[in-house]
Structure 1
Amino acid sequence: MQSHPPQPPAPHSQNNRDQDTAGIVPPLDPELNDDLRALRTLHRLATIARDETAPHRDTLNALLVEIISALDASAGAISLLNPDSGQLEIEAHVEHPGDAHDISLRLGQGLAGWVALHASARLIPDVADEPRHIRIRPASRCVMAAPMEDNGQVIGVIKIDHDKPAAFSERDLRLLVHYTREATVCVTRLWQLRQLREKSRQLETLITIGQTLVAKLEEQELFDTVTRDTREIIPGLPGCAFYLHDPGRRAVRLVSFNPPTLDAPARDADLPLNSCLVASAIHTRRQVEFTDIRGPDFLDLLDLPRNPAPRSLLAEPLVFENEILGVLAVFTDHVHRFNNDEKRLLTAIASLAAVALQNARLYSRVFQSEDLLRKNEQLTTLGLLAAEIAHEIRNPLTVLKLLHGALGLDFPDDDPRRTDLRVIGEKLDQLEAIVTRVLHFAKAPASLHSRWPLADIIDDTIVLIRLKLAQAKIQLRYEPPPRSLIVNVHKGQIQQVLLNVLLNAMQAMPDGGRITLAHHLSGEAAGAAHPRMAHIDITDTGGGIPENVRDHLFTSFLSGRPDGTGLGLSIARRILASHHGDITLESSSAAGTTLRITLPVA
């Protein structure tokens, strides 16, 4: 996980400290300000912190070497408090055994543990007289230590040794306290600077993640991107899992696990909530943390990986408009207390993922609606073509019936031709009935027409394509007129006309653009010879319609796109004709195209 300043327990007050213990430090003497050597040491300590690029441990080593040199010590160590274990761990040392970094002390254990627990410096003139002292260096005889405090919190201890007993004086201890304070300031400032840089990096990464997730329209790709990016923005995570919530089944389903090489639960299998640890995030509707889940109470859980077994887990629910869509969970392979930065980052990513998932689902519905519209468009075309064919058949069929009736043929009852003549008449009547049914079926029933405000029809149509407009980076401008226009139409068919025209306009602007939609009234002057007509002008900023296409724009099966059917505008004109309206090309150039839809006002 990330390196963070330790978070120790609150320090003890001065009244609670052991005043009877030797080595308790009084306030610093003003005379130390006149010590030239001490001032030079303080200056060099401050200078060390200027190197912002140096590794954290190198900075600690440099500070320790300077303090040891200033106090003529033989050895020393800097121990920092680990926020996960609550123990002191040696981060830098001089003249200590090579495995000193593996040594950790509880608060109160040894000299360093005592100093950290009581937040007080201490001097041991001869370690032979102190049975509680833990001798890491066999040659160590005289030891002193001072706490590293930041805003009243102990974050570590600096301890120095000498090979001779009584080598350090009370004045040396006061100098150590002074040097420790300066070293602590240097360390905390470097920590803060690195934290600010890390936060800046995380913010940039979050912005990038947000932009990436919004563009993911396929759900599985979205899930895999979320788990991968979560591990990137929170370094040191052995694994990240994405669970979808199914409230109807009262279960979760693992849909993504990163890295995929780990022994994760079965994908796409329903896991009952009462057998899953992440269910606690769903039930409480808030982030939950488990510091250690290695115990027997967690063995039967179905949602956790088995190899390697997780040790600590942080789970964040994905909530969108008060609906829990799923859970994003991260885990470590060691006991770890997740800090506030990690918790906030997981919350931010889960929020972005919830919005992106909802967008992907809405886009999927839009695409399904578009596919359905295209199928309806094809069926409508087949119906219109059938009506045309039936209409063309009906004319010669009428002629045949008239000629057949006018022949006046009459054969004797026993003549087979009499039966043939009767069958011919019956089949002609049958053909006429079939043609009549086809024509009546293709004709929109007048009962489906009703009075509608034209602005309402347009508004409802815009709602259907608003997500597709956003995806295509197209702005739509529409301002309804102050006076409402009422039309007597089949609403669904008029919406189909508008959708065909708007989709064509969007496809003419693959890199984005603007669609302007406006409607107005004509023929309302007193005594006008023509009925009042509502005009809807749809203007795009595309490249225009080619010259060789304009004259045949509303012809069936004419398309300027490889994937087009050439039926959209042809169907639109036929629908409008059945409503006593029309669609025309008003203008087209490199600056854009304007189509006008005309309908009679009720």
Structure 2
Amino acid sequence: MVENSRLTELYNLSRVISSTLEPQEVLNLIIDAAVKITKATTGSLMLIDRDSGILNIEVARGFPPRVVSDTKLKIGEGITGWVAKQGKPVLVPDVTRDKRYIKIDKDVKSELAVPLILEDEVIGVVNVDSTRASAFTQEDMELIFTLASQSAKIIQNAKLYETLKWRVEELSALFDIGKVITETLNLEKVLETIVEKASHLMNTKVSSLMLLNSGGDELVIKAVHGGGMDYTLKPNLKVDESLIGQVVRTKKPLMILDVRKEKGYRHLDLAKKVGLCSLLSVPMMVKERIIGVINTYTAAQHRFTSEEIQLLSSLADQSAIAIENARLYEQMIGLEERIRETEKLGVLGEMAIEVAHEIRNPLTIVKMLFHSLSIPDKKDATIIENELDRMNRIVTQFLNYARGEKPEQQKMDINQVLENTLLLVEHRLSQQRMKLKKTLLPLPSISCYPEKTAQLFLNLFLNAIDAMEDGGELEVSSEAIGGFIQVKIKDSGSGIPESIKERIFQPFVTTKAKGLGLGLAIVHRVVEEHRGKIEVDSTPDIGATFTVSLPIEVVQ
């Protein structure tokens, strides 16, 4: 029979244990009580992970930290596993004589293990050990069994409390995201708030947000919390070749217990350097369309629960809405700016009509004076005369266009247009020590607006020359492909910045300090008037290639 003094001690310890609802504190108080009542050398409390069927040490006394983290038992394995499987306590006076014993501490001589049972289901095991043989009595087993019976219910209450607290935090975090949606439409601030909330909510070391690029084939880091510059500067991830890309492909969450041991993880060295371990990645969806992922990493191994996965997924759903709203707002601002630019163009158009009228009179005088001069170099004289005629035709064409009169198309050899236009920049190419490489294959004639076509190529040539301030090579090629005449103009200049590449053909977009940003806008308009298309390929510090494709019309 258990002595009254020990029962009183057990009662007092039970009161202390039941005074808190913090799960980790409850577990610590239980093992402290078990070790104190039995005067054990060491003790541990193991809980069963229902997903894996593994017993993990949750709290321990007297064991080195490495033993605590590395000890994992299957149900039925060792004395502890046997107790978990049978649901019965066991008292082992001499562990060396028990075949079930797994040596964890070489100094242990005796062991007492009792199950934690809740509603007829074993949820864990309380163990106490001693360096003395036969250190525990039947009375000790009864006391620990009583303690375990009371503690199982307390553990359940603590876990219910923790779950409730999680729900409250979840609602609070989702409410905060909702506030971000309504309070700010600044995309950068929205992204930063999301990763900050994700780290706080999931209690993780690092959280990051990655969005799909415009092509949908790469994930780009847009915001990071807790990762530092090494993580922030990670290269983009290919959707088809990366583990996290799997989230995009399947539209389902991804869990990895330890990315440092995962062969398919792209940045193993970085994971070890930054201290990343377990990963949970969830998709961000907008109307069944995935726009990116939220990643969260722990510093130590952690099996994410279904509740945690649902929580981060809920956060991702709210985040996707916030991001889409911010993007729509940015597009609206962009449209407003384009409307203002269009208004500017309207004013410039009115001014241009007046300028065209003023140019025509002095142009006529210049032409008359030119014919009265004697120029020795007939080639130069021909070029000057042709360009004066071209200027006159441009002014006439512009005024006709302003009055609503359409210019007439003519059958032209595009190679001849290219040759004539290159003559105009020949002097500048020589002056800036630039090489010219021409590959002009025979072409069929096509219907086009001669002056506009010449203007198109002249603007592209000048644009290429301006990009090669310190010299370089200008490549011009032409060929007939699939019903189109294709002209490529390639420079070896500085390239086009990614920030403006998608807007390069819009009015007033330029990289030049003194440029108006109208040249490529005119080029784009002329190409569209010919029902053609223009594409640009650019690499920073290597150069840019503009490809103009004009439809072929068969000459009868």
Identity of aligned residues (%): 23
1:186 aligned to which of 154, 160, 173:
154
CA contact (8 A) 2:283 2:293 kept: yes
Q: Which residue of 2 aligns with 1:133?
A: 101
Asked if 1:119 is matched to 2:87, the reply is: yes
Structure 2 letter corresponding to 1:289? M
1:217 to 2:171 alignment: no
1:357 and 2:294 are equivalent in the alignment: no
CA distance in 2, matches of 1:208, 1:146: 45
Matching of residues 4-403 of structure 1 within 5 Å: 40=8, 43-52=11-20, 56-57=24-25, 59-67=26-34, 73-75=39-41, 77-81=43-47, 83=49, 86-89=54-57, 91-93=59-61, 101=68, 104-107=71-74, 108-134=76-102, 141-151=109-119, 153-161=121-129, 168=136, 170=138, 172-237=140-205, 239-246=206-213, 248=215, 250-261=217-228, 263-264=230-231, 266=233, 271-295=237-261, 297-298=263-264, 300=266, 307-308=273-274, 310-375=276-341
Change beyond 3 A, Cα 1:63–1:259: closer
Cα distance, 1:174 vs structure 2: 4.2
Write out per-residue CA displacement over residues 526-565 of structure 1, whole angstroms, 9 at most, x where no aligned residue.
xxxxxxxxxxxxxxxxxxxxxxxxxxxxxxxxxxxxxxxx
Please tell me the residue identity of whatever aligns with 1:344: Q
TM (norm. structure 2) is: 0.53
Tell me how far 1:341 sits from its aligned partner: 2.6
**1:424 equivalent in structure 2:** none
1:424-573 alignment runs, 5 A limit: none
Which letter maps to 1:298? Answer: G
What is the CA deviation profile of residues 77-105 of structure 1, one whole-angstrom value per residue up to 9, with x for unaligned ones?
23223749834326143x77898756724
**1:217 touches 1:363 (CA, 8 Å); kept in 2?**
yes
Distance 1:303 1:167 in 2: 49
Contact 1:214-1:359 within 8 A present in 2 as well:
no
Work out the CA distance in 2 between the residues paired with 1:325 and 1:96. 47
Contact 1:278 1:303 in 2 (8 A): no
Amino acid at match of 2:45: S
CA spacing shift, 1:299–1:341, aligned 2, 3 Å: closer
CA distance in 2, matches of 1:307, 1:116: 39
Q: CA 1:367 to 1:105, structure 2 compared with 1: closer, same or farther past 3 Å? A: closer
SS in 2 for 1:106: strand
Task: After TM superposition, give the deviation of residue 318 of structure 1 in Å.
Answer: 1.3
Deviations 1:199-256 (A, max 9, x none): 313321221132124434233333233222211211133x222222136352222222
Alpha-carbon distance between aligned partners in 1 of 2:272 and 2:17, rounded to the nearest angstrom: 44
Aligned amino acid, residue 360 of structure 1: A
Over 3 Å counting, the alpha-carbon distance change for 1:362 and 1:302 in structure 2 is farther
The amino acid across from 1:280 in the alignment is: Q
Change (3 A) 1:377 1:322: same
Tell me the distance in 2 between the aligned counterparts of 1:214 and 1:123. 63
C-alpha distance in 2, partners of 1:383/1:195?
A: 67
**Separation in 2 of the partners of 1:82 and 1:186?**
16
Segments of structure 2 that go 5 or more residues without pairing to the other structure are 355-398, 405-556
- The 8 Å contact of residues 211 and 292 in structure 2, kept in 1 or not, is answered as yes
- In structure 2, relative to structure 1, the CA distance for the partners of 1:253 and 1:383 (3 Å cut) is closer
Structure showing greater Rg: 1
Alpha carbons of structure 1 residues 327 and 437: separation in structure 2 relative to 1, 3 Å: same
Letter matched to residue 225 of structure 2 = N
CA–CA distance in 2 between the matches of 1:151 and 1:334?
32
Structure 1 residues 115 and 247, CA, compared in 2 at 3 Å: closer, same or farther?
A: farther
Residues in 1 aligned to 2:228 and 2:146: alpha-carbon distance in whole angstroms? 52
Distance of 1:319 and 1:146 partners within structure 2: 48
For residue 114 of structure 1, what is the amino acid of its counterpart? W
Decide whether aligned partners of structure 1 residues 176 and 287 sit closer, same or farther in structure 2, where only a CA change above 3 A counts. same
Aligned equivalents of 2:209 and 2:167: distance in 1?
A: 24
**Does the CA contact (< 8 Å) of 2:204 and 2:296 recur in 1?**
no
Q: Aligned partner of 2:289: which letter?
A: E
The offset of 1:180, in angstroms, is 0.9
* CA offsets 1:126-185 (integer angstroms, 9 cap, x no match): 335325435667776553211113455544321235676556555653443232111221
C-alpha distance after superposition, 1:322-348 (max 9, x if no partner):
221112222334443211232122111
CA 303–74 in structure 1, closer or farther in 2 if over 3 Å, else same: closer
Residue by residue, what CA displacement relative to the aligned partner does 1:250-278 show, whole Å, maximum 9, x if unpaired? 222222233342533746x6543222222
Q: Which amino acid aligns with 2:298?
A: T
Code of the aligned partner of 2:215: G
Q: The residue matched to 1:244 in structure 2 has which SS?
A: strand
Q: CA deviation at 1:317?
A: 1.5
Q: Distance in 1 between matches of 2:262 and 2:162?
A: 39
Q: Could you tell me how far 1:374 is from its partner in structure 2?
A: 4.1
Code of the residue aligned with 1:224 in structure 2: it is E
User: Per the alignment, in what secondary structure is the counterpart of residue 307 of structure 1?
Assistant: helix
Deviates more, 1:349-358 or 1:148-157: 148-157
Q: Which residue identity is paired with 1:145?
A: A
Tell me the amino acid that sits aligned with residue 120 of structure 1: K
Q: Secondary structure at the match of 1:147?
A: strand
Q: Which residue of 2 aligns with 1:14?
A: none
Could you tell me which amino acid in structure 2 is paired with residue 226 of structure 1? Answer: I
Instruction: Say which SS state the counterpart of residue 199 (structure 1) adopts.
Output: helix
Deviation at 1:359, TM superposition (A): 0.5
Q: Secondary structure at the match of 1:63?
A: helix
User: How far apart, CA to CA, are the structure 1 residues paired with 2:226 and 2:243?
Assistant: 20
Q: Distance in 2 between matches of 1:265 and 1:298?
A: 20
> Compared with structure 1, are the counterparts of its residues 143 and 278 closer, same or farther at alpha carbon in structure 2 (3 Å cutoff)?
closer
Q: Once the 2 structures are TM-superposed, how far is the Cα of residue 299 of structure 1 from its aligned partner?
A: 5.3
Q: Which residue of 2 aligns with 1:511?
A: none
Q: Is the 8 A contact 1:293 1:311 kept in 2?
A: yes
Counterparts of 2:209 and 2:349 in 1: how far apart (Å)? 48
- Counterpart of 2:208, as a letter, is A
- Residues 183, 357 of structure 1: alpha-carbon distance in 2 compared, 3 angstrom cutoff: same
> If the length of structure 1 is used for normalisation, what is the TM-score?
0.50
